[in-house]
Amino acid sequence: MKAKKLAELAMLAAVALIIFIVELQFPNLTPIQGVKLGLANIITVYAVYKYTAKEVFLIVVTRVILGALFSSHISIILYSITGSMTCLAGMLLLKRVIPRKYLWLCSILGAVLHNTGQTVMAVILMRSVAAAANYPILILTGCIAGLFTGICAQTVLKRDLRNTGKT
């Protein structure tokens, strides 16, 4: 990997990490565990449509691991990595059928996959199906957050492509 590409990926991971840390400072929007905006996913969705699968994987893993360390929430790394990898795998597949102009749709479906991965991990770790009680609410709020992050990522990608002369 060339130094320029590595610097770009490191910068994107750093921006995603900063967004994640800032979002941790927001008060919970609901009393329901797991409901959050997921603003760092703007970077992930953008990267899915701009970089290779391997490069996006590096960005996401870096953000998840450093985010867990910096936030002192090491115990939630299993939830984060499971949700993130489920989301990433799904979005990489969806990218093949969802064109760039509908990137926001890929983001919504990615949010659903993220919540699904985290819920499955909760059921496994807690050894109880009751851990999935909030799943319908997580899907609804995930769709709303996914739409917002997708629109943001689409805006960033359009601007980036315009500035680089690509369409």
- Of residues 20 and 33, more confidence is placed in 20
Confidence of residue 135 (pLDDT cuts 50, 70, 90): very high
Residues recorded for the chain: 167
In the prediction, which pLDDT does 167 show? 59
**56-64 — which CB contacts under 8 Å span 24+ positions?**
56/88, 56/92, 57/88, 58/9, 58/13, 59/9, 59/12, 59/13, 59/16, 60/84, 60/85, 60/88, 62/10, 62/13, 62/17, 63/13, 63/16, 63/17, 63/20
Burial (0-12, 13-18, 19+ Cβ within 10 Å), 72: exposed
In this prediction, residues 6-27 reach a mean pLDDT of: 93
* pLDDT band (50, 70, 90) for residue 33: confident
Interval 158-163 mean pLDDT:
85
Range with the lowest mean pLDDT among 6-15, 65-74, 95-104?
65-74
Average pLDDT over residues 40-44: 95
Confidence check: pLDDT of 75 > 90 = no
d(C-alpha 87, C-alpha 41), whole Å: 10
